[in-house]
Amino acid sequence: MIVNDILNIINSAQKIYISTHIMPDGDCIGSSLALYIALKRVGKNVKVILDDEIPLHYRFLPYYEEIISPDICENDSPDLFITLDNNDIERLGRSKNIFFKAPNSLCIDHHPLGKVMFSKFNYVDTNASATAEIVYVIIKSLSVEIDKDIANCLLTAIIADTGGFKFDNVTPYTLNISADLLASGADIKKINEIIFDKMSIEKVKLLSKVLSTLSVIENGKIGYIYLNKAMLEDCGASVSDSEGFINYVKNIDSVEIAVMFRIEDNGVRVSLRSKDFVDVNKIANKFGGGGHKKASGCFIDNNFDAVKNVILDECRRSLWLEWHSECIQT
Ligand code: 5GP
Ligand code: MN
């Protein structure tokens, strides 16, 4: 599938719904809003639906308030349903019901293929640092001008998924696109401040509590932290305040695999990061989750102790297996 095919699919639809994964991050929100703005400009009847809250710190993005809950449009049937930055139908939440009513569906993503390709059409580029890189090309191909609003959405997405241009998913192409977004008026200072620097008092308190749970095993090569509801309540913080906490663990000099457990009522959400060589996507895949080689996640419906044991076992296994093959290769 090439970008021209995407244009044909878009051109043959009038009512287009865009959706993305629950627990939204900068890439999925920024990409969705940028495509939303562009499709509106070419005269489409377009909506962004999301079965989750927009984290407070992303509420500086233009048109975020026009994102609607699937409850509001549950009886709608769009001509085309576009899912962005998501390779798992379950992560659409209740937007899934509307997805099934659309005669055409298109998935645009940069994650390695998920469990099954659930859309009719799929455009997946795992070389893209963020889904926003693909959306940028689509918007250009639609001949929509990249204005300040679109530029801010796309640059937010790229900065979020590249850790501020620090990860090894950054390519010369990422930087070329970002240069164009800057030239189009994106506010790189504000975006970086909001994603990485600005913290509410509640978030700082939560960070201190969560970091105090730090444990390291395997000679410091695996580090993990956890978060529960009581901590959130004590600090008056929300779950989205914990975005990025796992990086403190990954940044410990000895650590190769970092894990954050978020204990919820019906199970535990697991976030995984690797520094150099372990493929944490493979670990998440084993538990029905997904992501990228160096950043992945899954949800396991069991108690904390059970989840901790199976995840840490799997981390140990991957660490020593991949450590071994790394040593053989070098
Ligand atoms: P995070 O740890 O920040 O929630 O997620 C890291 C990466 O893994 C992101 O690319 C995210 O989309 C992906 N991811 C997290 N949880 C899941 C999951 O349950 N299923 C799938 N398919 N991907 C996930
Ligand atoms: Mn992404």
Question: Which tokens sit at 205?
Answer: 């308190």
In this model, does residue 5 exceed pLDDT 70? yes
What's the pLDDT score for residue 74? 87
Task: Dump pLDDT digits (tens) for 238-285.
Answer: 999 999 999 999 999 999 999 999 999 999 999 999 999 999 999 999
Query: Which tokens belong to 144?
Result: 């929509």
Q: Which of 120, 155, 114, 159 is nearest to 21 (CA)?
A: 114
pLDDT score of 116 more than 80: no
Q: Which two tokens stand for residue 152?
A: 């801010």
Instruction: Please name which of 141, 136, 113, 150 lies closest in space to residue 5, comparing C-alpha atoms.
Output: 141
Rounded Cα distance, 36 and 66, in Å: 10
Among the listed residues 238, 225, 213, the one whose alpha carbon sits nearest the alpha carbon of residue 53: 238
Same fold, 3-196 and 201-329: no
pLDDT digits (tens, 9 = 90+) for 129-160: 999 999 999 999 999 999 999 999 999 999 99
Whether 221 and 278 have beta carbons less than 8 Å apart is answered as no
pLDDT at 326: 66
Q: Which atom number of ligand 1 is nearest to the Cα of residue 243? A: 3
The whole-model pTM stands at 0.93
3-196 CATH choice from 3.40.50.970, 3.30.1540.10, 2.40.50.140, 3.90.1640.10:
3.90.1640.10
Residue 20: strand, helix, or coil: strand
Which CATH code fits 201-329? 3.10.310.30
Probe target for ligand 1 pocket from 115, 281, 296, 299, with the most ligand atoms within 8 Å of CB: 296
The pair phi, psi for residue 26, each rounded to 5°, is -60, -40
Residue 164: left if φ>0, alpha if ψ -120 to 50, beta else—which one?
Answer: left
Mutate to test the pocket of ligand 1, among 19, 20, 21 (most ligand atoms within 8 A of CB): 21
Ligand nearest to the CA of 284: 1
pLDDT value at 330 more than 60: no
What's the pLDDT at 1? 78
* Contact 93 CB / ligand 1 (< 6 Å): no
Q: Is the CB of 295 under 6 A from ligand 1?
A: yes
- The answer to whether 14 touches 127, Cβ cutoff 8 Å, is no
What's the chain's average pLDDT?
Answer: 95
Q: Which ligand is nearest to the CA of 112?
A: 1
pLDDT value of position 328: 61
Q: How confident is the model at residue 196 (pLDDT cuts 50, 70, 90)?
A: very high
Query: Quick check: helix, strand or coil at residue 49?
Result: strand
Residue ranges covered by each domain of the chain:
3-196, 201-329
Q: Using CA atoms, how far apart are residues 237 and 231, in angstroms rounded to an integer? A: 8
Q: pLDDT for 279-312, tens place per residue?
A: 999 999 999 999 999 999 999 999 999 999 999 9
Cα of 109 from ligand 2 centre, angstroms? 7
pLDDT digits (tens, 9 = 90+) for 75-92: 899 999 999 999 999 999
- Consecutive H or E run containing 71: none
Question: Is ligand 1 within 6 A of the CB of residue 24?
Answer: no
Phi, psi of 25 (to 5 degrees): -120, -175
Residue 110: its pLDDT value, please?
96
Find all residues with CB under 8 Å of 317, minimum gap 6, and list them.
Answer: none
Q: What are phi and psi of 12, to 5 degrees?
A: -90, 5
- Distance (Å) of CA 64 to CA 41, 44, 281: 16, 18, 30
Q: How many CA atoms lie within 13 A of 253 on its CB side?
A: 0
| Residue-wise DSSP of 301-323 | -S-HHHHHHHHHHHHHHHHHHHH
The residue type found at 257 is: I
Of 32 and 327, the one with more pLDDT: 32
Over residues 161-178, mean pLDDT: 97
pLDDT above 80: residue 329: no
Q: Which of 210, 306, 202, 328 is nearest to 258 (CA)?
A: 210
Q: Which residue intervals of 142-200 are DSSP H helices?
A: 148-161, 172-183, 188-192
